[in-house]
Structure 1
């Protein structure tokens, strides 16, 4: 399975966390990263998005550029347990799959899949990482590449 994990684009701070929206810079970051993914061999066939506004906006931009559907998942918000997402990945049939979420979840999930622990690596806004997992499980993924805004 190939999994692309992406952090949402830059968002403003003018509202409640769940309602924060992308800035103009954030929209450009996301479009730039999506264009790089479009030119790569890892174009997703499905996008999972956090229900938070900035993640939904990020997923919509990526979806438009890559022409793939988006499905909201309630278990990929900032403070969710990466183990819950791991369980959902075990049942997933889509590959490559893209997950659009937030720090600290994107960092802790990536670290869990690559290194087998949950300390968390940093992600810039609109950054995406491609993981290759012959088997979905802790420590089973290899980091193949990253896309920066």
Structure 2
């Protein structure tokens, strides 16, 4: 399975966390990363998005660029347990899959899949990493590429 894990684009701070929207700069950053993914050999078949507005906006921009559908997933919000996502990845037949979420979730999920622990690595806004997993599980992924704004 190939999995692209991406943090949403830059968002404003003018409202509740779940309702924060992308800034103009955030939209541009997401577009830049979306085009870099489109130019790679790792085009996703589907996008999973957190239900938070900034993640849904990020996924919408990516969907237009990459011409793939978006599914909203409630188990990939900032403080969710990556174990629940791991269960869903095990059940999924979609590959490559692009997952749009938040810190600390994207950092914790990435380190769980690559290193087998949950300490978490930092992600810039709109940063994405590509993981290749012959088997979905903790410590089973190799970091193959990253896409920066």
Q: Does 1:90 align with 2:90?
A: yes
How do 1:64-103 residues align onto structure 2 when only pairs under 5 Å count? 64-103=64-103
Structure 1 equivalent of residue 52 of structure 2: 52
TM norm structure 1: 1.00
CA shift digits 1:44-94 (9 cap, x unpaired): 000000000000000000000000000000000000000010000000011
The match for 2:31 is 31
Gaps of 5+ in 2: none
The answer for the alignment partner of 1:106 in structure 2 is 106
Report the 3-state secondary structure (helix = DSSP H, G, I; strand = E; otherwise coil) of the residue aligned with 1:140.
coil
Provide the residue aligned with 1:117 in structure 2: 117
Q: Which runs of 5+ in 1 are unaligned?
A: none
Aligned counterparts of 2:79 and 2:103: Cα–Cα separation in 1? 8
- How far apart in 2 are the matches of 1:4 and 1:68? 14
Pairs aligned (count): 149
| 1:141 Cα deviation from its structure 2 partner | 0.1
Deviation of 1:96 after TM superposition, in Å, equals: 0.2
CA distance in 2, matches of 1:119, 1:82: 12
Q: Distance in 1 between matches of 2:105 and 2:19?
A: 18
Normalising by structure 2, we get a TM-score of: 1.00
Q: Report the CA distance between 1:104 and its aligned residue.
A: 0.2
Q: Distance in 2 between matches of 1:91 and 1:82?
A: 14
